Structures are given as structure tokens and as C-alpha cells.
Amino acid sequence: MSHSVSLKKDIEKVVKTDPFVLEIIRNYLTTTCEEMGTTMMRTSFSPIFNEARDFIVVLYDAEVELLAQVDYVPAMLGSARHGVKLALHEVGINNLDPGDVIIMNDPYRSNNHIPEHILIKPVFKDSQIVGYVGSIAHMVDVGGTVPGAFGIHENCFQEGMRIAPVKVFKRNQQQDDILKLILGNTRTPEFSYGDFMAMVGALGRGEKRIHDLIDRYGLKTYTQACFDMKKVSELLMRKQIGSWPDGVYEVDDCFESDGVTPNRNWQLKSKLVIRGEEMVIDLTGSDEPANGSMAMTYGSSSSAGYEAVFQMADRDIPINEGCYRCITVISPYGSLTNVNYPHASMAGNTEGQPVLIDMLLRGFAQFSDDAPAPDGNSCGLIALGGIDERTNLPFAFLSLEGIGWGGSKYADGNSVQFSKLGNCATQSIEIVESRYPVTHLSYEIEPFRGGAGKFRGGYGSKRVMQVYGKDLVASSGISRCTMPAPGLKDGSNAAVNVLAFKSPDDVNWRSATDKFGTVAPGLFSNAPLKPDDKIMVITANGAGYGDPFERDPHAVLTDFLDDLLSSEQAETFFKVVISKEKVDAAATAALRQGLKSKDKGVLS
């Protein structure tokens, strides 16, 4: 019996809903999430919502188990699975009424970090809770010591206002006192309020769609379909894990700095443990939480574990609670990957997750050729703040960047794409310049700086901005500025990320360490800017996959003709000789003859 026939019979054994109806309902729930996301984008105030799409929308059944989501920011899947359930049970399921909305952002309740706010609303049908609609979204400013939130903090009190689970709407009535308390602790209350209302509007849209679905098929069919969807996903994920060889696959890495402690990196340990149809991701042995904000919550580290598995699994497996039942993430409390109160965790989510995801994928690479090389391992976050002289009001601007993804056995890595933890888009220059006191001098793909391989890493970007106005500050949450992500299967390491500043009286670009005396070049808070100061962000190339000397010479030529690679680099890193804009086949063959991978050049 073929594998597909056997699998079909296994599914038929556990599913009671008509298969056509089940697929209609599953797709209906997915498109409901898409409509909720569109509602948020079109009605929100901040570019991080309507341009970058830094949020996730989710649907749950009556058991608070995930039914559907769409691929906005998978980094929030840990919060969506653990944080939402904790928030609801803390408020009390029996204390919920139709029209209630709960808000929570506490990182110690399995939220990723303080800027990400969870809003969750029960869906009632005839006085019975039949499910929940939820949204998790990144607020640009949450108070604290840093405009835009991202910088270096040494405890949670510096990071911003923590909100325990509380009703922000009761029976569809806005709780003004709660909102005033929250908005009074942000520099941009008008925009924050608009973003909150966009989230609430999305919840209302999802609630209506679920009502319509139940009206069409009936509550009994809907409830059975929810159960069956989860069972199918569980069965498919178990089959997927069962196809991988049993074993223990270990990978170590580190956070290069916490921005506070000089000359120290912070060790990460990971194990993939596969036993039959069960997988354990064990992060035991990682260091204690960093002194700065480069530490992870359980919501964040569990998200990284789920993301790594889902990237390796069959893409046809619907992501819902069933997928998680055979995956266990062990992240000991009080460690670097499960921070304890009152340690900070701001940068650990955005900069820690990319490192941890690629660590786990390197574990998969020990038994699977499908695992890609690491990406640039950063979200390239720069936060600017101060008073906008055009309005005389405080502003907070958070810039996100794309990096190069790592190569794989199939192809070169994508260029200028957000890290694996999310699908965020870069905010348009026109929107940014109309909203904030910055001017773009350039934004372009940065040519080759590393990541050579049979399939090279994708290219990063180079952005140069100039600020205007007085008393502005810059903060940063960028890592991998000194320790590049490693290559895979004899590929070269990724490049490093670069952040530099230049005042009108500076001759050369200067790092933050040189110009402002920061501990780390990419992790710092509130560096003072002068009028007309320039900021340059260069994101990393992804790491290479495979021996660079086996790269197709014509692919090397294409990069040369696109002005992304010099002829000298082609010869040094790929052993390809280019003459008169053509590959010199004879010279290239002679150069590559007898060479071994260990002889490949290394960029400084």
C-alpha cells in the first residue's frame, strides 16, 4: 500500500465531518484571518501596522486551542499558543460576557516582549462560548526609557508599561479608565489608540464571520469540524516527524553581546530530540539571562522552536493546535531562553529568535539536506525619537530592515527579506518621510560582502538616512555586528550587520562604539543626534551553502554584471576568472583544478 493511500485511510479513521465540508470550513477560517488582517492594515494609524504588517491574527475554538492563522508574523506563534490561554484563564472563562475584550502584554505570561499586545475576544452563540478571536500586534511606543522601545534595558521597568490581563471592553463598552492609563504611558497616544481600535475592529470582523459560519452549518457541525481539523493536522505532523530519523542533534551558538556587559557573549545550547512521532526541542544548558535586554521569554523561545519545525515540515500541513501536540519545547525558567522577573527581554525576541531558529535548522541539517544556511540573523531595528518640529509633538519611529537569507541545496538565498521570524515588509520611504523628521539619501542592495557558496547567501541592503531637528535620539537593537552566522556544507559565513553614524563635522563614518562610547556597536539606547546627522544601516548577506568553488561560473558572472560582485571577488571567493564581461572558461578551470574548499578566501 502506498504511503499516500495509507495516510488517507488513517485520516478517514479520525475524521467524522464530511471531507468537503471540513475543507470548506478550514479555508473559511483561514480567509477569515486574512480579512481580519486586512481590516487592521486598512484602519490602523502606524506604518508598523499598515506598512510593515507586524502582527498576527488568530482563531480559537471553545477550548482555547488554535484553529487558524495566516502567515503574517510567525514569531508570535508562541504567544498565540501560550500567552492567550494564560490570559483567558487568569481573567476566568466564567467571567466573560459577550462583547468583552481582554488586553495583555506581559512577557512573564508567555508573551514575546512588551511591545506586542494581545487582544482576545470571546465569541458567543446563544449564551455559550463557541470560540475566540485574537490579535497580537507590535505597538511602536510603549513608554519606557527609549522612544520606539528598542534599545538596551537592564530590567522590565525600563522597557515600558506591562499590562496584566484585564478587560479593555466590557459588553462592547470601551473602558475609558483602562485606556487612559495605557495611553498616558506612551509618547504617541493618538496613534496607539488608532492601532488599538484597528485591532478591536479586526476582532469584530472575525466574530461576525464565525457567527455566519455557524448559522450556515450549525453549531454541532462546526464543533466537530474544529475537532477534526486539529486531529488531521496532528496526524500529518506526526507522520512528518516520524519520517525523520530518531536521534539527538545538538547545536551551540551565542548572543555576541547584551549591550551592557563588555567583552562577553552569552551561550545558547539546543538539542533536537526525535523519538518516533514525537519531537523535543531542549534548550537546557543555555546561560543565565543576559544583563541587558538580549534575553528571551518562553513565548519567544517556544516560537523559535515551532518556526524551525514548521519550516522543515510539509507546507501542506495546516497550522493549528494539532501540529503542536507532538512538539515539546523545554526552556528552563531563569535561563537565557526563558527570562525570569524582572529581567529585560526586548531585544531577545527580535534578535534572539533569528539566531535560535537557525541554530535549530542547523540541527536539522545534520540529517536533512533540505535545511538552509542561516540568514543575516537580525531585524535591523533602529528607533528614533524626540520632538518633531513640524508638529511640536513627540514621535517614535521604528525602522525594520530586510537581510540576506542563506543559500540552500536548491538555490541562492533571497535578498533583502525580513528574517525568518516574520514576514514584515519594509516601510515605504514616502510614508516614513511624511510621518517622521528623516530624509532618505539612499536605499539599495548592498553588494557582496560574504556568504559565498555553491549557492550563495542573498544580499542585504544599505540605507542612509539624515535627520533634521534638535534633540533627537537614536537607539538600536541590531546584533551579529561582530560574529557572523556560519555557513553550511562548506559554505562561507554570512556577512556582519553594520550600523554607522556621521555628523557634519565627521570626516568618516563612525560606529556607535566609537562615536557614543557604547558597549556594543548595534545594541544601545538614546544616542544623541545633531541636526543633519546621517545614519547608515547595512544588513548582512546570508550564509553560503556548499563549496563556493562548485558554483556555476555563469551565476558568478550574472552577479558581476549586476554590479553586485567585483571581478576580484569572483576570483578570490569563487575561483572564477572574468575577462571582458565574460567567463574565461580555460582560466577558471585551471584556477579551480585541485583546489579544496578549505582554501577559499575569507572576507574580513
- Per-residue model confidence (pLDDT) at position 71: 78
C-alpha span between 390 and 341 (Å, rounded): 40
Residue pLDDT, tens place only, 239-290: 999 999 999 999 999 999 999 999 999 999 999 999 999 999 999 999 999 9
Contacts of 177 (CB under 8 A, 6+ apart): none
Residue pLDDT, tens place only, 168-223: 999 999 999 999 999 999 999 999 999 999 999 999 999 999 999 999 999 999 99
CA atoms within 13 A on the CB side of 599: 12
Place of cell 531542549: 282
pLDDT of 577 higher than 70 = yes
- Per-residue model confidence (pLDDT) at position 384: 97
3-state secondary structure of 568: helix
Residue-averaged pLDDT of the chain: 94
Return the H-helix or E-strand segment holding 252. strand 247-255
Residue pLDDT, tens place only, 518-536: 999 999 999 999 999 999 9
pLDDT of 597 higher than 50 = no
Give the CA dihedral 564, 569, 573, 577, nearest 10 degrees.
100
C-alpha span between 139 and 54 (Å, rounded): 9
Q: Confidence band (pLDDT; 50, 70, 90) for 6? A: low
Residue pLDDT, tens place only, 310-355: 999 998 999 999 999 999 999 999 999 999 999 999 999 999 999 9
- Per-residue model confidence (pLDDT) at position 4: 63
Q: How far is CA 80 from the centre of its chain?
A: 14
C-alpha span between 573 and 577 (Å, rounded): 11
Q: Phi-psi category of 216—alpha, beta or left, where left has phi over 0 and alpha has psi -120 to 50?
A: alpha
Asked if 78 and 306 count as a contact pair (C-beta separation under 8 A), the reply is yes
Neighbour-count burial of 263, counting CB atoms closer than 10 A to its CB (0-12 exposed, 13-18 middle, 19+ buried): exposed
Residue pLDDT, tens place only, 387-438: 999 999 999 999 999 999 999 999 999 999 999 998 898 899 999 999 999 9
Percent of the chain past pLDDT 90, that is, above it, reads 92
Angle at 376 between CA 371 and CA 259, to 5 degrees: 130
pLDDT of 477 higher than 60 = yes
DSSP state of 427: P
Least reliable range by pLDDT among 64-78, 129-143, 167-181: 64-78
C-alpha span between 127 and 147 (Å, rounded): 44
pLDDT of 601 higher than 90 = no
